Structure 1
Amino acid sequence: MTTLLTILTPGFADWETALLNAGAREYYRLDTRFATPGGEPVTSAGGLRLAPQLAIEEINPTDYDALLVNGGSIWQQPDGPDLTKLLQSAQAAGVVIGGICDGVIPLARAGLLDDRRHTANGPESLPQTGYGGGAFFIGSPRAILDRGIITAPGTAPVSFMGAVLEALGLRTGDLDFYLGLYAAEHHAGAPSVGPS
């Protein structure tokens, strides 16, 4: 069975991988798992408390088809989890790797973006990582998939979902329809915010 593992940290951004994991589990019948630092429960930015299946430190990347790093402010901190060896091992094993919002920072630290097209919240969010991929950065509002690595700004959970499923070989007319459903509101113009 295809298995996705999402790394979550204290204060993780709820919306960034929620649609992906829900669609993968309910529609595609994939196995979705979650890992946190020390395997401890974490609370999201929105107050959702989550108990993971395992600790980041216990991850064997070859047990998973996709390894996803959810955003959160911890990735900007010097004491954030170091995923360098894990991500490099996953890449060497051919595992699909994705990072969204500040979850792109560990990918940059691991050198995964030095030679492939990618995006992030902005190029200014990556330089303090030892990052050498400036020539490959694309300022995109949508996720970018390049040779099994997916990156996205925090405002792109729908295209991130699509790129991950595409990288797993699940791009079909059904996925295109599903993506269209979630993107439809963005084609309708500005939302109404006042009384009608």
Structure 2
Amino acid sequence: MATIYVYLLETLADWELGYVTAELNSKRFFKKAAPPTVLKTVSASKEPIQTMGGMTIMPDCLIEDIMVAEGNVLLLPGADTWNDARHSAIIEKAHEFLKANAIVGAICGATAALANAGLLDQRQHTSNGPGFLEMVAPAYQGQHFYVDQPSVAADNLITASSTASLLWAKQIIEQLDIFYTNTLEAWYDYFNTGEEKYFYALLESLPDSNPKN
């Protein structure tokens, strides 16, 4: 079973997690015999956090409860509070995940926290545009590995800009191998374009609709 840990911190950017957590939790488009998954929220304390959108969320577990194992996933959302020293523990967990060949997903401000800890110095990555990481992460030395794309998946690390949450979700789902390929493409195309033909392609790709899958 894969456990997907979603890190909670004050001012969490709600919209950046919406696509991926909805699909991982609901499992509505999972393929037959998809690996079982469980979604858990994790934080530095058991205190509730308030998101940027004003929603209050209670964490399921603490950082020390995280199981570092290949197959598990750590998702780090954007927030305005990543420079708080209390988040160094989750960045260390991210380092442990990468060493264990487990997936780490970081978007927006979370990429700056990884950059400042040196975790992007030798890995392909992206963020909120060229120059952003130099501006907000003084210790960043990974300029030669920066890829000017909305979202980049490389070596179990999936990074994205604040405007690429849909593509980020697609790449995470792809890494987990829980959708059929045609389901994932139709899902992405539908939410990316809103075109009706992709909605029907999505429905037709599901196991109950297409026994050939």
TM-score (norm 2): 0.79
Does the aligned pair in 1 maintain the 2:70–2:101 contact within 8 Å? no
Does the aligned pair in 2 maintain the 1:143–1:160 contact within 8 Å? yes
CA distance in 2, matches of 1:61, 1:136: 26
Paired residue secondary structure (1:116): coil
CA distance in 2, matches of 1:86, 1:79: 14
Match of 1:60? 67
Equivalent residue for 2:146, pick from 137, 147, 155: 137
Match of 1:154? 162
Residue 100 of structure 1 deviates from its aligned partner by 0.5
Equivalent residue for 2:87, pick from 64, 81, 84: 81
| Alignment gaps of 5+ in structure 2 | 31-35, 196-213
Match of 2:191? 182
Indicate the larger mover: 160-169 or 146-155. 160-169
Residue 2 of structure 1 deviates from its aligned partner by 2.3
- What letter matches 1:84 in structure 2? I
Residue 155 of structure 1 deviates from its aligned partner by 0.6
Instruction: Point out 4+ residue stretches in structure 1 off by more than 4 angstroms.
Output: none
Match of 2:11? 11
Residue 120 of structure 1 deviates from its aligned partner by 0.4
Residues 74-94 of structure 1, C-alpha deviations (whole Å, 9 max, x = no match): 11x253511332111111111
Alpha-carbon RMSD across the aligned residues, in angstroms, is 2.0
Paired residue secondary structure (1:34): strand
TM-score (norm 1): 0.85
Match of 1:70? 77
Equivalent residue for 2:107, pick from 100, 109, 127: 100
Residues 149-191 of structure 1, C-alpha deviations (whole Å, 9 max, x = no match): 00000111100101111122346111111111110149xxxxx
1:20 aligns with 2:20: yes
State the number of aligned residues.
Answer: 184
